[in-house]
Amino acid sequence: MSAATAEIHDSCEAAALSITVVGEISEEAQQYDLAINRTAGGEVSVPGEGSFAYDAGAVIDLEATPDAGYEFVSWTGDVDTIADIAAAETTITVDGGYSIMANFEEIHGSVDWVLIVGIIAAVVVVGLVIFLVRRRRTA
């Protein structure tokens, strides 16, 4: 929708007529929807998940945060204006209606260090007990 204001001045001399129009025209920015979803294993922390309306040309920060045991893989969907689809933190330029998805993947083969340290500690304690029992028998 446009709005306009104008001033009109005229001057007549002989057979000549001059009209000057001075004014301003302003338009509301076109807005587009950006729908953001995710797969299991994380969340979209910036700007969040759901549908958002943005002015045309807006550059929006995106941040995907994986849950423990998961990693961010990529952005999919309408990704032509995403700066880096492989980065968890990136931007998207909104120049149309878009739907994007943050994709997460479970980390396979991840080491559970707490479990490993616990097992090592148990083996050391058992070994120490055996050593002390044998030493006591020989004394």
What's the pLDDT tens digit per position in 90-130? 999 999 999 999 999 999 876 677 888 899 999 999 999 99
Is there a single domain that holds both residue 92 and residue 38?
yes
Q: Which positions ≥6 away from 48 have C-beta within 8 Å? A: 36
Q: Which amino acid is at 56?
A: A
Domain around 59:
31-106
Calpha distance 56→94 (Å, rounded): 6
Tokens encoding 133: 């029992």
The distance from CA 2 to its chain's CA centroid, rounded to whole angstroms, is 34
d(CA 107, CA 47): 25
Q: At CB < 8 A and 24+ separation, what contacts does 21-29 make?
A: 26/2, 27/1, 27/2, 28/1, 29/55, 29/56, 29/57
- Check if the beta carbon of residue 112 is closer than 8 Å to that of residue 48: no
Q: Are residues 126 and 87 in the same domain?
A: no
What's the total number of domains in the chain?
2
Same domain flag for 38 and 56:
yes
Question: Do both 72 and 128 map to the same domain?
Answer: no
Average confidence (pLDDT) over 81-90: 99
Q: What is the pLDDT of residue 27?
A: 77
pLDDT on residue 13:
59
The mean of the pLDDT values for the chain is 89
pLDDT at 1: 44
Same domain, yes or no: 86 and 128: no
For the full predicted model, state whether its pTM sits above 0.75. no
